[in-house]
Structure 1
Amino acid sequence: MIKNKISPNDSEKDGQKSVLNRRLFLRSAGVATAVGTLAIGACKNDDDDTITPVDGTTVDLGSGDVGILNYAYALEQLEAAFYEQVVKTPYTGITAAETTILTDIRDHEVIHREFFKAALTAAAPTQIIPGLEVDFSKIDFTSRAAVLGAAKLFEDTGVAAYNGAGKFIKSADYLLLAGKIVSVEARHAAAISDLLTPKTADFASDTQIDSNGLDKATASATILAAVQPYVKTKISGANLPK
């Protein structure tokens, strides 16, 4: 059973030998600082109520743009923790090419997680949700099919989540940023689909694309229900824009 507390230092604590590409991280950190400054102005009109657990075990994401940022932060925490575990304990028969792809995705997700944490800490320090506790006990990390199947779920869900929340974002800066991040998540989804079924059209299948040829957009309640089995911390999106 794999249950762990997500924190920015998980990679170091776990002794992972593969580290973030330093140049990419520093470049992203610079972007995070710049957008974090914008976030301060964008969030001033949001409520300043402190985010607290609804009960002893449930965390509410909040409302408005800050709530949406917390929503994205929660999903990025889950994805980063998943890929950290994948790279730490490679599945049986993993190839060098697959290791490179999954490590690159891990690096992106860690950067996304740290970006949202930095932006929320700067803009709404009393409203940021805590580190979530994941539960990957349902995933057999020794099995290629199980790992890539879970990766497909997380990536497809992530894309649909950003698309579903985008129309509720009031800040133009946040909307631009969400559009940039969702494009990266879509690249991840395509890469994982190609690993599962190489040289097919499944990188853009009916499970991902709607009848108009667009990536699907899914409501937050559906997304949270889909990922909750992998998060020990109970998450409430009751106050998110609808």
Structure 2
Amino acid sequence: MDNKNTLLPAHGNNSLSLPEMPGRRRFLSYLGLAATSATVIAACRKDKDDKNTVPPGSIDLGAGDMGILNCAYALEQLEAAFYTQVISSPFSGMTANEQLLLTDIRDHEIAHREFFKAALGTMAIKSLEVNFSSVNFGSRDSVLATAKAFEDLGVSAYNGAGQLIKNSSYLLLAGKIVSVEARHAALIRDLISNGSFADNTVVNLNGLDLSSKPTDVLATASVFLKSKLYAGNLPTS
């Protein structure tokens, strides 16, 4: 099998508003990253953006470490919106255990989203508009296939971003979050097919998780976004 992350869309439509979360102090405490948040804010403000021209109607992710953090924030927005919809309209035959597990994942993704939003402050991109028209939220197969694609993509995205991050506090943050995303990916894969949590589509012959460049990640994620993201100012090395 090829070592590639693939998206597996089905059919359906979506319109949702995301729930309000607890205050900043509570969710930063939940993540155990309050100190990191302060560092992120201070260091982000030191980034200097020599920006390329942003196409009209596009959202510029930014440059340097700030751009990488906004890239992660965009993915967390997408995942939080997806799992919020999954729980608000459970697929046919969802078991109590599946609902509990998927609710936990939803809460983690919302916490990640809100952390990045607070940490980036005024440098955060705006809330994104999602497009889940290719997902049939009434179908277990469609929902879990899309969840698998999102989680595998998220893990490879953080792995790929690591080599581009200059600030050690950012790297610590990414390491803490990618480990949670990997737990999600393993769970979703086993819900689909027990024992597939670390097969050769996501782990290479050296026993290492795959990684993806930010531009490749965003190109894949764009299928599920109405908002247009511009990654032309992101670091490449």
Could you tell me which of 225, 228, 232 is aligned with 2:226?
232
The yes-or-no answer on 1:28 pairing with 2:40 is no
Q: Which residue of 1 aligns with 2:109?
A: 109
Unaligned 5+ runs, structure 1: 13-18
Q: Structure 1, residues 104-153: CA drift from partner, whole Å, max 9, x if none?
A: 000000000000000000xxx1x321100000011000000000000000
Query: Counterpart of 1:103 in structure 2: which amino acid?
Result: T
Query: Counterpart of 2:36 in structure 1: which amino acid?
Result: V
Q: CA RMSD in A?
A: 2.2
CA contact (8 A) 2:55 2:230 kept: no
Q: Which residue of 1 aligns with 2:69?
A: 69
CA contact (8 A) 1:148 1:196 kept: yes
Secondary structure in 1 aligned to 2:130?
A: strand
Question: TM-score scaled to structure 1, two decimals?
Answer: 0.85
The yes-or-no answer on 1:197 pairing with 2:186 is no
Q: Which residue of 2 aligns with 1:11?
A: 19
Q: Which residue of 1 aligns with 2:124?
A: 128
The yes-or-no answer on 1:143 pairing with 2:139 is yes
Secondary structure in 2 aligned to 1:150?
A: helix
Q: Provide the C-alpha distance between the structure 1 equivalents of 2:26 and 2:191, rounded to a whole number of angstroms.
A: 24
The yes-or-no answer on 1:47 pairing with 2:53 is no
Q: 1:53 to 1:131 in 2, by over 3 A?
A: farther
CA contact (8 A) 1:32 1:118 kept: no
Deviation at 1:24, TM superposition (A): 7.6
CA contact (8 A) 2:62 2:234 kept: yes
CA contact (8 A) 2:16 2:85 kept: no
CA contact (8 A) 1:83 1:105 kept: yes
Question: TM-score scaled to structure 2, two decimals?
Answer: 0.87
**Relative contact order higher in (CA < 8 Å, ≥ 6 apart):** 2
The yes-or-no answer on 1:172 pairing with 2:178 is no
Q: Which residue of 1 aligns with 2:4?
A: none
Query: Counterpart of 2:80 in structure 1: which amino acid?
Result: A
Q: Which residue of 1 aligns with 2:182?
A: 186
Query: Counterpart of 1:235 in structure 2: which amino acid?
Result: L
Secondary structure in 2 aligned to 1:235?
A: strand
Q: Which residue of 1 aligns with 2:88?
A: 88
Q: Structure 1, residues 162-210: CA drift from partner, whole Å, max 9, x if none?
A: 0001011111111011001000000000000000002x2x100111111
Q: Provide the C-alpha distance between the structure 2 equivalents of 1:213 and 1:131, rounded to a whole number of angstroms.
A: 36
Q: Provide the C-alpha distance between the structure 2 equivalents of 1:99 and 1:45, rounded to a whole number of angstroms.
A: 43
Q: Provide the C-alpha distance between the structure 2 equivalents of 1:140 and 1:195, rounded to a whole number of angstroms.
A: 17
Runs of 4+ in structure 1 deviating by more than 3 angstroms, as ranges, are: 23-26
Deviation at 1:3, TM superposition (A): 4.1
CA contact (8 A) 1:3 1:137 kept: no
Q: Which residue of 1 aligns with 2:39?
A: 38
Q: Provide the C-alpha distance between the structure 2 equivalents of 1:57 and 1:167, rounded to a whole number of angstroms.
A: 30
Deviation at 1:26, TM superposition (A): 6.4
Q: Which residue of 2 aligns with 1:223?
A: 217
Secondary structure in 2 aligned to 1:11?
A: coil
Query: Counterpart of 1:223 in structure 2: which amino acid?
Result: V
The yes-or-no answer on 1:157 pairing with 2:157 is no
